Structure 1
Amino acid sequence: MVRYNNSHQPKVLILYASYGEGHLQAAKAIRDALEEQGNHRTVMVDLMAESHPWLNEMTKRVYMKSYTHIPHLYGWVYGVTRPMKHNSLFGGFLHSFGRDKIRKLLQKEQPDAVIHTFPSFALPALHRRRLKKKVPPQTSIPAYTVITDFDLHRRWVHPGIDRYFVATDDLKQELGTLGIRPERVTVSGIPLGRGFCCPNPTTELYAKYGLQPDKPVVLLMPGAQGVMPDCDELCALLLERHRDVQIALVCGRNSLLQAAIASRFMQHEAAERLHLFGYVEQIYELMALATCLVSKPGGVTIAEAISAGLPLFLYRPVPGQEKRNARYLQDKGAARIASDPEELADAIIKLVNDPQQLQHSKLAVQLLQTEDAAAGTIAHHILQECGWNTKFGQRYS
């Protein structure tokens, strides 16, 4: 990796939030991509956590409880606020959080660019407030937004954003209908972590995870916190109805789920075909070995599956962005939505037994792939627009 004189590099401020894993993962991926392109002046800030720590913890708990225990309420709120404009009463209220913290960050860090991986736009809101009061902004700082879903909630749209990075051409077109000019939108894909790649499924890789190369592998990822229901029932159905299928169940940080599954299947006659894992850092390796993926439709997980070319099964998506993500993928032929374990198990078995259907599903997924790595594309665009020559490691003259 080439290193350059830090004093001449643009400073990039990345604002994220810790509501779920995706926003933080996207922020880290962009930071790593900036470093890989020679820039080492990136500052990451959880804006809500640092500006309103008590409120941040309370709203995170409410978010997780509503998301897992009363999903229809969560979905209703999402649907009601989806057409919300930035200058509506509620929209302005949401974008006001962190405004004082932003002022202090601008004074302390003096960034050349600000990237948002969560739709909390205190900086653009601050600039527009200054303009309304006819107070000239101290600096003109370009603001970027990386949309981490396949559905567009209007909270992501703000006139103070200079450029949007989106997952698909469909999102770009939808932004166009809202008045965002095409040259302000880049179809990059959702940024993935450093090292995410699609390795060849070698014999050594199968051995590393204890899997057999001549049998189909169903990769089951219930989420980083292991919140997808009915994992045990689905595993039992798959093992009983297909004598060759292997299951790789990634429990994430949910040690209770991992222990419960291990206990239930300890004496199962097909227990050797069920492989349990905790948090897997190099998840792309398991994806390279998998025949299909069963998961919840979070934006980053979907992006990883698309990058790996994996057909998707999306189980009981929560109303809101999850369900809209799922419907988008299903409409494209890249995913199948299931609402109960019987339906899901039957659909998986049908896919692994039908080479033609499997190939068709893989082709549908490949059509959603972007040509370049999303994080690298985003980093390159932003550094260039800051006047930084990524090839020679210096500012343009």
Structure 2
Amino acid sequence: MNIMILTARFGMGHYKVAEAIKEDIEKNDSDIKATIVDFMSFLLPKTSKLIYTCYDQLVFRNARLYNAIGNASNKVSGLPLKYIIALRISKLVKDNNADAIIVDFPLCSNYISAYKEMSGNSIPMYTCITDVPAHSDWIAEDTRLYFVSSEETEATLIEKGVDADIIRITGVPVRNEFKSDETTKKDIEEKRKLLVMGGGLGLLPGSDELLDRLSHMDDVRVTIVAGKNKELETKMADKYPGFRVLGYTEEISKLMKESDAVITKPGGVTMFEAINTGTPMYIVRPFLLQELGNARYIEKKHIGRVLWYEKDATADDIEAYINNAGDIEAMKDNMYTIVKKDEKCDIITEILSDMGKAELKCS
């Protein structure tokens, strides 16, 4: 059996989810072959790198415009070059001998839906939504199941007309290295460990003043992950010799597990990586559209502290936050509750059950 996972590299989150799903498939059944396809690289092999670079610059330099585009696309229907792309998808499905398709990027689901309608191909399509907010672009005709992060996402889809019977709450998939039975077991050390990271783009949350103050706190050990932003990595290492400064690393799970808290951007994947490692979050001024919804979820579930204004992000505040042992433990307990609830529903078992290949596991 062959399952094709369609994703995109806008940021790093969607691709990380695809990798996590692939990992779970291979762990679940060695007879299933999972293939990850970067949809943009497939459609536009000569220009996809430029498109991704432009996206990164848009997020980095003009978040307001990014949000405006997102809001506008939420109100507009229609697919550019639908017929041409549908023909290309036909070849992609054939070349991969796909028996099922999982998508974790909204553009993919709508084009697969259009391809199915035009070709008459009944190949099942499953959609994994990677944030708490559910943009209308995620919703596509003939989707067999939607895998969502939370009850809030489920409610949004139902409000937009999706049948509750085809929605499954699974959390956002993360790689197995982030999963641990010791979610609430961390000891709080005398010297606090604080992780500061801003995702693959290296968009560090917080202000220079906050980092300056942290650099003078002897009882806090700070690790900064600058992602692929080499300029930022060099700047941080030069300015803060007492910090541990890293570039892009594959050891985020280890860093989270050894940290008492993480100052980060509330991307859907980062949020669920923190939830699975039991690392309370400290969010400074979320600004991207999807991050705003994720931040509200963090507040509602009490799994972190959200500062909606950068001026409130002071060293005194973060020090009080990480030294409040009782509240930190309560957040870890809340994270553990979310993890255990999500474990009741497994994406690959649900897909196999829907295809008549396995017994239903969710309860």
Give the TM-score taking structure 1 as reference length: 0.81
Q: 1:93 to 1:312 in 2, by over 3 A?
A: same
User: In the TM superposition, what is the alpha-carbon distance from 1:65 to its structure 2 partner?
Assistant: 1.8
| Aligned equivalent of 1:123, options 102, 106, 112 | 112
- Answering whether residue 61 of structure 2 is matched by residue 69 of structure 1, we say yes
Q: 1:298 to 1:97 in 2, by over 3 A?
A: farther
Counterpart in the other structure of 2:175 = 193
| Aligned equivalent of 2:215, options 239, 260, 272 | 239
Q: 1:109 to 1:264 in 2, by over 3 A?
A: closer
User: In the TM superposition, what is the alpha-carbon distance from 1:232 to its structure 2 partner?
Assistant: 4.9
Counterpart in the other structure of 2:247 = 278
Counterpart in the other structure of 2:303 = 334
| Aligned equivalent of 2:204, options 211, 228, 237 | 228
Q: Is the 8 A contact 1:76 1:319 kept in 2?
A: no
Counterpart in the other structure of 1:6 = none
Counterpart in the other structure of 2:240 = 265
Q: Is the 8 A contact 2:205 2:283 kept in 1?
A: no
User: In the TM superposition, what is the alpha-carbon distance from 1:261 to its structure 2 partner?
Assistant: 1.7
| Aligned equivalent of 2:279, options 296, 305, 310 | 310
- Deviation readout 1:255-297 (Å, 9 max, x if unpaired): 332222221233xxxx2xx222333323222212211111111
Matches within 5 A, 1:206-217: 213-217=189-193
Q: Describe the SS at the equivalent of 1:176.
A: helix
Q: Which amino acid aligns with 1:57?
A: K
- Deviation readout 1:336-370 (Å, 9 max, x if unpaired): 23332662433311112222332333344344334
Q: Describe the SS at the equivalent of 1:195.
A: helix
User: In the TM superposition, what is the alpha-carbon distance from 1:148 to its structure 2 partner?
Assistant: 0.6
- Answering whether residue 73 of structure 2 is matched by residue 98 of structure 1, we say no
Provide the C-alpha distance between the structure 2 equivalents of 1:57 and 1:98, rounded to a whole number of angstroms. Answer: 19
Provide the C-alpha distance between the structure 1 equivalents of 2:189 and 2:81, rounded to a whole number of angstroms. Answer: 50
Q: Is the 8 A contact 1:199 1:285 kept in 2?
A: no
- Answering whether residue 194 of structure 2 is matched by residue 218 of structure 1, we say yes
| Aligned equivalent of 1:159, options 137, 141, 156 | 141
Q: Describe the SS at the equivalent of 1:164.
A: strand
Greater mean deviation of Cα atoms: 147-156 or 46-55? 46-55
Q: Which amino acid aligns with 2:319?
A: I
Q: Is the 8 A contact 1:112 1:386 kept in 2?
A: no
Counterpart in the other structure of 1:252 = 227
Provide the C-alpha distance between the structure 2 equivalents of 1:79 and 1:301, rounded to a whole number of angstroms. Answer: 23
- Deviation readout 1:160-185 (Å, 9 max, x if unpaired): 21100001012112212222222201
Q: 1:124 to 1:182 in 2, by over 3 A?
A: same
Q: 1:232 to 1:39 in 2, by over 3 A?
A: farther
Q: Is the 8 A contact 2:67 2:288 kept in 1?
A: yes
- Deviation readout 1:190-228 (Å, 9 max, x if unpaired): 111243223759xxx99xxxxx94311111112223122
Q: Percent identity?
A: 28
User: In the TM superposition, what is the alpha-carbon distance from 1:332 to its structure 2 partner?
Assistant: 3.0
Q: Is the 8 A contact 2:196 2:262 kept in 1?
A: yes
Counterpart in the other structure of 1:110 = 97
Runs of at least 5 residues in structure 2 that lack an aligned partner in the other structure: none
User: In the TM superposition, what is the alpha-carbon distance from 1:390 to its structure 2 partner?
Assistant: 8.9
Counterpart in the other structure of 1:324 = 293
Counterpart in the other structure of 1:133 = none
Q: Which has the higher contact order (CA 8 A, sep 6+)?
A: 1
Provide the C-alpha distance between the structure 2 equivalents of 1:48 and 1:26, rounded to a whole number of angstroms. Answer: 16
User: In the TM superposition, what is the alpha-carbon distance from 1:51 to its structure 2 partner?
Assistant: 1.4
CA RMSD, Structure 1 to Structure 2 (Å): 2.8
- Deviation readout 1:67-114 (Å, 9 max, x if unpaired): 111111111121233354xxx23xx33876732221102222331110
User: In the TM superposition, what is the alpha-carbon distance from 1:11 to its structure 2 partner?
Assistant: 0.9
Q: Is the 8 A contact 1:166 1:187 kept in 2?
A: yes
Q: Is the 8 A contact 1:163 1:185 kept in 2?
A: yes
Q: 1:294 to 1:340 in 2, by over 3 A?
A: same
Give the TM-score taking structure 2 as reference length: 0.88
Counterpart in the other structure of 1:175 = 157
Greater mean deviation of Cα atoms: 363-372 or 349-358? 363-372
Counterpart in the other structure of 1:292 = 261
Provide the aligned length of Structure 1 versus Structure 2: 354
Q: Describe the SS at the equivalent of 2:177.
A: coil
Provide the C-alpha distance between the structure 2 equivalents of 1:199 and 1:213, rounded to a whole number of angstroms. Answer: 20
